[in-house]
Chain A
Amino acid sequence: MADAQPGHSGKRLHFAWLTFGRTLNGAPPSETLTLYRIIRTNVPSVADMRSYLELGIPLRRDTPEARRRASGISLFDSIERARLQAQGKPWVGKAFIAELLLPANQFQIEKTAGPGHYTAWGDAHDILDCVRHVERA
């Protein structure tokens, strides 16, 4: 899937909707959000789309908010921001960036944490199905 670029008609993220902690589930059913995920290979797998709670990583502080965040995955609002993030993570190694076109009515997506960071909740298989393009970070 390296550098594959299938044609798609997904719309870019509508920033006007997004405020901190606001869910996008109320978006029109036809809306598709484009977000970017850092992965380790050029062939994305289900494992790349799992939360760390799914992977069995223990919480450091067991609060409802921590548990909720731990059950989502991290995404970024632009490939440039994802690239900057990957470059600041020496522990990732040779990173790739997957572009995901996420139907807003299928996944819960919120603006969380720092600039351009989003959290998405959903089944890892379904999220994997939304990958449309992969390139080197």
Chain B
Amino acid sequence: MIYTLWDIPSINLVADYDNLRDALALVLEGIERNGPQDTDTLALEVEDEQGNVTSIAYGQALAELAKRELQPSPIAG
């Protein structure tokens, strides 16, 4: 399995990783570096060994996924 980040306007590959966590880390870096609109042009997919591609998330949903997976959630109470 390979996780790929794509630039939406140009349909070009941005980066590829062998695990989801590293891919999401780049998403968070982009948000920190370029602002919350950074994922407007970014899409995350996973590709299997047969070349089948599945979209994971893009746009704001990708930002929310990255934050949910990598940023510690506040402890209630």
Binding site for B on A (CB under 8 A): 37-40, 50-52, 54-55, 57-61, 66, 69-70, 72-74, 80-81, 84-85, 87-92, 112-117, 119
Chain B residues with Cβ below 8 Å from A55 are 7, 9-10
B4-36 contacts to A (CB < 8 Å):
4, 6-16, 26-27, 29-30, 33-34
Binding site for A on B (CB under 8 A): 2, 4, 6-16, 26-27, 29-30, 33-34, 38, 41-43, 45, 47, 49, 51-55, 58-59
Question: Known contacts A74-B11, A89-B11, A92-B11: does B51 contact A84 (CB below 8 Å)?
Answer: yes
A52 lies within 8 A of B53 (CB): no
- The docked-state distance in angstroms from the alpha carbon of A66 to that of B26 is 11
What are 5 inter-chain pairs, A to B, with CB distance below 8 A? A58-B38, A59-B33, A90-B58, A91-B55, A91-B59
Chain A residues with Cβ below 8 Å from B6 are 74, 89
A66 to chain B, nearest CB (A): 7
B53 lies within 8 A of A84 (CB): yes
Chain A residues with Cβ below 8 Å from B8 are 91
B9 to chain A, nearest CB (A): 6
B11 lies within 8 A of A61 (CB): no
A44 to chain B, nearest CB (A): 12
B8 to chain A, nearest CB (A): 5
B30 to chain A, nearest CB (A): 3
Chain B residues with Cβ below 8 Å from A57 are 7, 9-10, 41
The answer, among B26, B43, B59, for a CB contact under 8 Å with A61, is: B26
